[in-house]
Amino acid sequence: MGGLKHFLFRAAAVLAAGLALSLTTAAFANAAGPQPLPASELSKATSAAGSPTALGLLSKATAASRSKAGSVAVSGDARPIYALNPAFVRDASAPVATFWYAATTATRGTDRLTVYTAPDAKGTWQAVNVATGDTEARMFTAARGALVFTEPQIGAWYALAGNQVRPLNDSAINSVGKAPITVAAYQDLVATRYADKLPGSQYNDNGTAGGYDTPATVATSTRNLTIPVTAGGLALLVATAFLIRHRRRTA
């Protein structure tokens, strides 16, 4: 599973550094969490989730659905999704997570879907993908107002509040246990898990990070993915986040 883990790490680092730089490099609210995404940016993400591009992706995603009742409807506001910060693996003083994408729930009949949006290199928000299910919405409900972030390498979801990291799904519970742990304890865990796989490591120098594996330990799910060619490199980076969701369902 090593190649996939490292590839995901590199994608998260590039996305944070290249596409969300202007959103996440302001002064941090505290040592653990990143500066929250401004409401104005989330409003743009919500608009992008209802754009013609998004509606086209939703139509493709539901084309083979058994639930044909009604039209596709984008409901609710965009929710910011953060991912484990590679810098945090090496440095406990870095923010735990960095912004990755925004998620907006959509419905068609009994189907529930999620529209993924992110800013391009010019800061313009675009719909870049659609996945079946409403994992992000459920994680936000479980987080009860705390910052939601994912450790996509293992399909784990957490809530970050103050100095505590709380597990939100089964994969996270398997990772840290049922009770919340401190940010310091979580940093120790991910440092042990990933420090030898970051860029510049022997793992990387050996070429293990080239491409990604399809390990037998990762179960295949039935999630549908629709990646538009118009989003270019952004779609490729964000699509990396969906590899885990395509192969492993979150709780």
Percent of the chain predicted with pLDDT > 70: 64
pLDDT reading at 80 higher than 90 = yes
Q: Model confidence over 158-195: pLDDT tens digits?
A: 999 999 999 999 999 999 999 999 999 999 999 999 98
232 dihedral zone (left: phi>0; alpha: psi -120 to 50; beta): left
In this structure, the number of other CB atoms found within 10 A of the CB of residue 40 comes to: 8
Q: Model confidence over 125-156: pLDDT tens digits?
A: 999 999 999 999 999 999 999 999 999 999 99
250 dihedral zone (left: phi>0; alpha: psi -120 to 50; beta): beta
pLDDT reading at 105 higher than 90 = yes
- Highest mean pLDDT, choosing among 56-65, 151-160, 242-251: 151-160
* Domain ranges (residues) in the chain: 2-247
Residue 113 has which token pair?
């879907």
b/e map 184-220, b = 16+ CB within 10 Å: eebbebbbebbeebbeeeebbeeebbeebeeeeebee
- List of residues 6+ apart from 193 with CB closer than 8 A: 153
How far does CA 36 lie from the centroid of its chain? Answer: 15
